[in-house]
Amino acid sequence: MLLLLMVSGEEMNRRLQLLFHFTAASVLGYGLYYDICNVKPPQEYLDKSINFGWKWKYLTFIDANIQLLYFAFCCIVDILTSNESTTANRTTLQSIRDTFFSTVVFPIGLFVCVTFWGLFAIDRDLVYPTILDTFIPVWLNHVMHTVILPFDLIEQAVCFHRYLSTPKGLLLSGGAMVLYALWVFYIAYRTSFWVYPVLAVLNWTFRILFILGCMALAMVFYLFGQTLNSMLWGKQEIKKSSKKRKSKKTA
């Protein structure tokens, strides 16, 4: 009877995970669909921007696609694998999910939300000029810059992720930000256009320092995610692993 309750409980958790992942993917998917198909910037804005790189020059758009890809992938993992919350017997799909979430999805998701609203509070024109309010709905702004934070935090709470060693994790997380920084500099080199107004008002010394600070912050968010994962799942992981070892010894 107890075993039956445990099995049914694990199945219920797996279904709740699937429901959460499907909900997150649906919200992000609709937000991106609306952004691509229905957001039409006025000519006044287009005159101050460039077509080079399309929306892919913005980390917000890249991150929203990363989040959508992750939560959609999680739906597949939920359907095809178990809800096992130990490091033993991880499937390839689970390992891919864990690495992707820990090194890219979580740190970049937090980075986008925290830096956007931080700079917005200081001077919104540095990241989100008032002209954007004329053609981007408030709800879409929050889908891109706000709901990602609770989605990623809830993901930490409802799904165990196996983190890489700290050096490897920091290397991958920092490397992702390096790639984006190179992309931003390449756009500026080709077009003399800075993707974010804050970079346009800084000289080169402070631009480099700003970019380095952003990379460091992304790595801090990786360490935060690693610590949070350990706080939420560390004891349970050890407990379940020890139970498996005891059952093997008894057998």
For CA atoms 40, 41, 46, 49, the dihedral sign is: negative
Which tokens in the block code for residue 33? 């669909």
Query: 142 pLDDT exceeds 70?
Result: yes
- What confidence score (pLDDT) does residue 200 get? 85
Q: Where are the beta strands (DSSP E) in the chain?
A: none
Residue 85 confidence (pLDDT) above 90:
no
Cβ–Cβ < 8 Å for 195, 184: yes
Q: Give the length of the chain.
A: 251
What is the DSSP-derived secondary structure letter of residue 38?
Answer: T
**pLDDT score of 211:** 87
For the chain, give the mean pLDDT. 85
| Residue 236, pLDDT score | 52
Residue 223: predicted pLDDT: 95
Q: Which of 79, 98, 42, 67 shows the shortest CA–CA distance to 237? A: 98
Residues 6+ apart with CB under 8 A from 199: 184, 188, 207, 210
pLDDT tens figures, 185-219: 999 999 888 888 888 888 889 989 988 888 899 99
What would the pLDDT profile of 87-130 be if each residue is shown by its tens digit?
556 788 989 999 999 999 999 999 999 999 998 998 888 888 88
* Tens digits of residue pLDDT in 219-246: 999 999 999 999 988 755 544 444 444 4
Band (pLDDT 50/70/90 cuts) for residue 19 is: very high
- Per-residue pLDDT, 108: 95
For residue 2, pLDDT over 60 is answered with: no
- 44-70: pLDDT as tens digits: 777 777 788 888 999 999 999 999 999
What is the distance of C-alpha 167 from the center of its chain?
Answer: 20
Considering only CA atoms, give the Rg of the chain. 21
* Cα–Cα distance measured from residue 22 to residue 86, given in angstroms and rounded to the nearest whole number: 23
Does the pLDDT of residue 163 top 70, yes or no? Answer: yes
Q: CA 28, CA 83: separation in Å to the nearest integer?
A: 24
Cα separation of 102 and 115, whole Å? 19
Report the run of H or E that residue 34 belongs to, with start and end: helix 2-37
Question: Which pair of structure tokens corresponds to residue 224?
Answer: 């935060």
For the residues 161-166, what does the mean pLDDT come to? 91
Query: Is pLDDT above 70 for 1?
Result: no
Task: In whole angstroms, give the CA distance from residue 171 to residue 105.
Answer: 15
